[in-house]
Amino acid sequence: MKNVLVLIPLTEEQKTRLESIGPDCSYRYSNGAAVSMEDIQSANIIIGFPDPAMIAASEQLEFLQLSSSGADAYVKPGVLRPGTVLCSVTGAYGQAVGEHAFAMTWELLKKLHLYRDDQAREHWGDRGTVGTLRGATVVVVGLGDIGTEYARLVKAVGARVIGVKRRPSACPDFVDELCLTDELDRVLPEADVVCSVLPGTASTYHLFDAERFAKMKSSAIFINCGRGTALDADALCEALDRGVIAAAGTDVTEIEPLPAGHPLWKQPNMVITPHISGGFHLPGTLDRIVEICFANFEAYLKGGELRNIIDFRTGYKK
């Protein structure tokens, strides 16, 4: 009998369905705030997003099915013992995060963040010219599920889309040019908007630094809805202060919560949201998460093919 710990919110109907997949298992339902070290250490299978520190290379844990797309916190040495199977829910968050990045892009292009600031201080004024995505060149760095959704959206309103990814593949019909990561520096000077949706890995750490911002247009907008570690926050602050780029928006930061007094908070041409583009904020996302988790749970128990297995060497799905 396997002990299964479930850390995602399920309806009674969904619990019944889950338990019918593995009738010989023992189930415990909790959440990240209430779960105990004993619960985690005694589990053979975990479905959800447990505190990595509480796993502590558990000898009991065989299979961790994350409820997140990012797995960077779990591939670090000492979190999972060798041999533990780790899967993500890549494919569940594309719509939610892609639309959030799309909305953030428009907010900055139309200077809505500045008008909101004016509203808060009861100031009626004209902020001048605005931008558009029609005819703009948008570089999407990380053409996975989220990047694909964002690319579709900007293409639909008339942008020229350059997709950047780490492995070669066929070029999707909503991408005008597809290139590999080592070509990023070549395409950055063309970009009116750069959207990063990269995972947090050793190869993406501070990929966007002072040198990369210097390659961008002074009118360019930078969006980050992947992982905060892909961005050098100090370099971004300097780029905004000096007018190296025009504006930026991020849903993620390297340190979360972003500490009070951090220079990012004070940037007038910066939009910050507190890592909320994903989660369960968009109705339907949880349903997608549940379907992926349940399918992988069944596949694991029955020896079937698992979806979104994480490669511990790269931090990406295999």
pLDDT in tens, 71-95: 999 999 999 999 999 999 999 999 9
- How far, in Å, CA of 291 to CA of 41, rounded? 25
Q: Look up 227 and say whether it is catalytic.
A: yes
Nearest to 193 by CA among 152, 143, 135: 135
Bridge-partner residues for 224, per DSSP? 196, 250
Bridge-partner residues for 166, per DSSP? none
Residue spans of beta strands (DSSP E) within the chain:
3-6, 26-29, 45-48, 63-66, 85-87, 137-141, 160-165, 177-180, 193-196, 221-224, 247-250, 270-272
Residue of 166, 275, 288, 307 marked active site: 275
Decide which of 3.40.50.300, 3.40.50.620, 3.40.50.720, 3.30.70.100 is the CATH code for 3-92+283-302.
3.40.50.720
Residue of 152, 160, 212, 227 marked active site: 227
- 176 touches 160 (CB < 8 A): yes
Mean pLDDT, the chain, rounded, equals 96
Report the pLDDT value the prediction gives residue 269, as an integer from 0 to 100: 97
Report the pLDDT value the prediction gives residue 32, as an integer from 0 to 100: 79
Q: Look up 254 and say whether it is catalytic.
A: no
Q: Which helix (H) or strand (E) holds 15?
A: helix 12-21
- 66 touches 74 (CB < 8 A): yes
Q: Look up 19 and say whether it is catalytic.
A: no
**φ, ψ dihedrals at 106, nearest 5°:** -65, -40
pLDDT at 318 over 90: no
Domain boundaries of the chain, sorted by first residue: 3-92+283-302, 94-272
pTM: 0.94
- How far, in Å, CA of 126 to CA of 114, rounded? 10
Task: Report the CATH fold assignment for 94-272.
Answer: Rossmann fold (3.40.50)
- How far, in Å, CA of 230 to CA of 228, rounded? 5
* Cβ-based burial of 45 (10 A; exposed 0-12, middle 13-18, buried ≥19): buried
Q: Give the percent of the chain with pLDDT over 90.
A: 95
Bridge-partner residues for 64, per DSSP? 46, 86
Amino acid at 182: D
Residue of 242, 256, 291, 313 marked active site: 256
Q: 315 falls in which pLDDT band (50, 70, 90)? A: confident
Rg (CA), the chain: 21
Contacts of 259 (CB under 8 A, 6+ apart): none
- How far, in Å, CA of 103 to CA of 82, rounded? 41
